[in-house]
Every structure is written in C-alpha cells, then in structure tokens.
A = this chain, B = another copy of it.
Amino acid sequence: MARPTLESPERGDARTRLLEAARDIIRQRGFAGTSVEALCEAAGVTKGAFFHHFKTKDALGVAAANYWAETTNALFAGAPYHAPADPLDRVLAYLDFRRAIIGGETFEYTCLVGTMAQEIHDSSPTIRDACAKSIFGHAESLEADITAAMKNRGISSDWTAKSLARHTQAVLQGAFILAKASGDPDMARESVDHLKRYIDLLFTQGEK
C-alpha cells in the first residue's frame, strides 16, 4: 500500500495492521497477556513503528477499542436485519443475526471490548471508557427499534427500552464467556435463543 498522505493520515499501513492484530490477538490472549512485540510480529512491523503510532501500550488499547467500535458499527449498519417493516421483527432479526455470526474459532466471534473491559476496568480507566462507549453505543442503536416496538404493540411495562437494549448486550457478553469456558459456541447460541424467547414473550404476553 502506498504511503499515507496528509489528507488521509489514518491510512497508515502499519497502524491499521497493528489494530487488526490487536483485535485478533487480544481476543485470544487478553490485553495484559499480549506483548507489544507479539503485536508487532503479527502485524509485520517493528517496535519503532509501534511506538511511532501509539504513545504507549495503553494508547493502543484505546485505539483498538475505537477501531472496534467503528468497524462493528459499520458491520451492523450494513446488516440485513433492518429490513422488516415491523420494529419488533427488526429486533428479533437482530438477534438472529447475532446468533448467525457465532461460529468458527472463539476469537473470531467474541467481543474485543467486552474482553478488555473485563480485564482492565480497574487498572486503565481510559481503555475502560473506550470499551464502555463501544458497548453502550451499540446498545443505544437498538433502543429506537425497541421503543418503536413497544409503542407499536401498546406495551405498558415496568422496564425501559434502554434497559432491555443493555440487557441484550449483557446476555451476549455472558454467552461468550460460557462459550470460552466450554470451548463450545453452541453454549453461546443457546443463550441467544433464550434471549429471543424472552423478548418474544415480553411483546406477545405484555400486549394490552
């Protein structure tokens, strides 16, 4: 790839490759378990390049979380689950999509920012905040459909759209942990099924 220009400084070859390496390796070994040199080797760059692009290892962690937020936002924005006219169907289609994504190697379907937040929540506030922004930002992207579905079905509830959106993320994060502990992605799919059943019950049972 060509050298980055002043107009697009983010296009640096090494920088992107380091972020992609971070995305994959940190999901396998965790943040503290991933050395800068391991990242450099995977990205095919030297340490000089690393510290040219990131002031510290923590700064790489923040950048990786932001990169994760950007790429996943793009993935979900372009996903087919927005198609249904009924907002509830969109929410359920979202869960189908999340379920369909689960598969292959563990590090390929688990969540970078969930992994990092779990690990560094107490030792690195900057990384933690970047992770929180990614998780809760994504949750917010579901809120609109949930709110619309509640209005659409005339749901009067003691729960909020915001809390349900956050709960979906909690279930997914927890599902990943069981999958990691057991080495079996079915363990994650199982929880998504329960979550889908819950939301289905909330809206078919709660109708008034």
Q: A115-B118, A117-B177 are in contact. Are A205 and B197 (CB under 8 A)?
A: no
| Chain A 174-192 near chain B by CB (<8 Å), digits 1 or 0 | 1111101111000110110
Cβ-defined partner of A205 (8 Å) among B106, B188, B194, B201: B201
Interface of A is mostly: helix
CA distance A181 to B121 in the complex (A): 6
Q: A166-B178, A170-B171 are in contact. Are A121 and B136 (CB under 8 A)?
A: no
Cβ-defined partner of A121 (8 Å) among B106, B128, B194: B106
B residues in contact with A172, CB < 8 Å: 174
Residue contact A194 to B182, C-beta cutoff 8 Å: no
In the complex, which residue of chain B has the Cβ closest to the Cβ of A163? B190
**Is A33 positioned at the interface, with any CB of B under 8 Å from its CB?**
yes
CA distance A65 to B78 in the complex (A): 41
CA distance A30 to B29 in the complex (A): 12
CA distance A114 to B181 in the complex (A): 8
Cβ-defined partner of A181 (8 Å) among B107, B136, B178, B187: B136
Cβ-defined partner of A32 (8 Å) among B33, B107, B191: B33
Known: A29-B123, A172-B174. 5 other contacts (CB 8 A): A135-B178, A163-B190, A169-B174, A170-B175, A170-B177
Which residues of A does B touch, CB under 8 Å? 28-33, 106-107, 113-115, 117-123, 128, 131-132, 135-136, 159, 163-164, 166-167, 169-178, 180-183, 187-188, 190-191, 193-194, 197-198, 201-202, 205
* 11 A/B residue pairs, CB under 8 Å, sorted by A: A29-B119, A30-B118, A32-B32, A33-B123, A163-B194, A170-B188, A171-B174, A174-B175, A174-B177, A201-B202, A205-B205
